[in-house]
Amino acid sequence: MDGGIGDRHIGDISTPGRLAESGEGISLEELALATRNHGLPLEALRYDLTPAGLHYVLVHYDIPAADAATWELTVRGRVRTPLTLGMRTLTSYPAATQRVTMECAGNGRARLTPRPVSQPWLVEAVGTAEWTGVPLRTLLADAGVAADAVEAVFTGADHGVERGVEQDYQRSLPLPVATGGDPEVLVAYAMNGRPLPPQHGHPLRLVVPGWYGMAQVKWLRDISLTDSPFTGFQQAVAYRCRQSADDPGEPVTRIAPRALMIPPGFPDFMSRARVVRPGRVRLEGRAWSGHAPVTRVRMSTDGGRSWSEAELAAPDGHGWAWRRWQASWTATPGSHVLSVRAEDAEGHTQPLDQPWNRGGFANNLVQRISVLCLRDG
């Protein structure tokens, strides 16, 4: 795989991860990822359920050409009865629907110093949808889990090279997570009541409520139970929080709490800075955590020097989805920096200084929105 071609190797086009130099602008390679993938335009925080084209999307390789009519999911490895399931069979199982907020593990990466060079998210790699599918534990019960199974490995149909390694996209879950009831992992075939769009895994994907996006394997074609932990690239090399290149690091799992605000007023096209008129401005947004329900949202209009409580909407029974919050602000002429900060029932909160690691993962630094309040009239 890694042999030379004349003077050309796969390593020439697929280089190790690196950190941007001080003052180094975004590269054309990072821009190519930003142009393919996209975040949630923050005004779309207004929708309880994010329309498909506004939900964040990250695709590691290409969106596969997938045909639901011939798609097959295999369930194999440490099971009693291997299964091969077409879409007609899968949709005949009792279905479950869950409202889930998903966030990319790399959200916020492009604002880190130094900046890990990868998909350059600012702060908007999030979205909420209702996913419908078969509970994974139902399929595993049908296949019969062997006593020595410890993990389930999920393989997608997307194929590419990453940091020199040719691969299908693969991730695993510990068996207790894969068969758990809260969150209940879904093998999903519908998003907001319609077949999955191509970029969200058509025709089949995994949905792991509360976990970052890397766990939500798209274009799912195989589930294999193993008797030892999976050591594939996306598990053992990528998606680990490392402080240095030789640090084994901690795996990225559940979503750290975050609140985001719909930027008030109206924007400047180029700077995206916001403009408001003096007087009462309603501030609103969403807050979520993959650890436990969000219990508190605080808001600052002076760049984080002082904080006040925002009003959090009552729980709506969707424990794995964001909660709406709102607050009121009396804008006065001049420049302001607005921030918002979530806290969950386990006491996790958002740091005021950047939490840094070499991959730029699980960074939930508070949002900062620059607002210019004009004089009246």
Minimum CB separation from its own copies for residue 213, in Å? 14
In sequence order, what DSSP letters do the residues of 281-300 get, joined into one string?
A: EEEEEEEE-SSS-EEEEEEE
Q: Rounded to an integer, what distance in angstroms lies between the CA atom of residue 86 and that of residue 249?
A: 38
Residues 303-332 that bind its own copies (CB under 8 A): none
Nearer to its own copies, 36 or 318 (CB): 36
CB 176 within 8 A of CB 65: no
Which one of 197, 293, 304, 319 is in contact with its own copies (CB under 8 A)?
A: 197
Residue 279, Cα to own-chain centre: how many angstroms? Answer: 36
Minimum CB separation from its own copies for residue 60, in Å? 5
Bond prior to 116 in cis (omega within 30° of 0): no
Interface with its own copies, residue 160, by CB under 8 A: yes
Which one of 51, 229, 347, 351 is in contact with its own copies (CB under 8 A)?
A: 51
Minimum CB separation from its own copies for residue 165, in Å? 10
Tell me the pairing of strands 205-207 and 194-195. Answer: unpaired
Q: Name the nearest CA neighbour of 362 among 375, 373, 350.
A: 350
Which one of 80, 266, 305, 353 is in contact with its own copies (CB under 8 A)?
A: 266
Give every CB contact of residue 346 below 8 A, 6+ residues apart in sequence: 291, 292
Q: Which of 208-216, 305-313, 357-365, 367-375 is the region at the interface with its own copies (rule: CB under 8 A)?
A: 367-375
Nearer to its own copies, 6 or 248 (CB): 6
The single-letter DSSP state of residue 11 is: G
Q: Which of 57-65, 83-91, 250-258, 342-350 is the region at the interface with its own copies (rule: CB under 8 A)?
A: 57-65
3-state secondary structure of 38: strand
For residues 267 to 306, the per-residue mask of contacts with its own copies, x marking binding by CB under 8 A and - elsewhere, is xxxxxxx-x-------------------------------
Give every CB contact of residue 61 below 8 A, 6+ residues apart in sequence: 158, 159, 160, 169
Residues 161-180 that bind its own copies (CB under 8 A): 161-163, 166
Which one of 82, 251, 333, 347 is in contact with its own copies (CB under 8 A)?
A: 333
Q: Name the nearest CA neighbour of 221 among 66, 104, 92, 56.
A: 66
Which one of 19, 26, 68, 150 is in contact with its own copies (CB under 8 A)?
A: 26
Residues 77-96 that bind its own copies (CB under 8 A): none
